[in-house]
Amino acid sequence: MLRVVIADDSRVMRQIVIRTLRQAGYDWEITEAADGALALEIVAAEQPDLVLSDWNMPNMTGIELLRALRASGDDVPFGFVTSEGSPEMRGEAEAAGALFLVAKPFTAESFRDVIEPVLA
């Protein structure tokens, strides 16, 4: 079973992401993080298979989290799930090493479209 970290300061949004992942057929072991700093600690301790992160979070944003991971040599697969899906942010995410950016609101298909290539 894949071990996945979901980082979002909104508990409601974490629940929606988990529910939508299940609807997409992904019955994964999920660890939740309420901000980027907590996610950084969890990823270092647990070495998950995938990180799904919000962008705009207190303490440490999603892009800061990704850059901190890459700077420490951690190449864990990383995707953003964020309310802002502008071309500029997609470019910034890709340049920092993200595999994908799913814009909220999302559907089960949104997740399948970006996650299936990662699992292949």
* Residues at the site binding another protein, with contacts judged by CB under 8 A: 9-13, 15-16, 19, 56, 58, 82-86, 88-89, 103-107
CB of 101 to another protein, least distance (A): 11
Q: Which residues contact 72 (CB under 8 A, 6 or more apart)?
A: 44
Nearer to another protein, 85 or 97 (CB): 85
Q: How far is the CB of 112 from another protein (least distance, A)?
A: 14
CA dihedral 66, 49, 8, 61 (to 10 degrees): -10
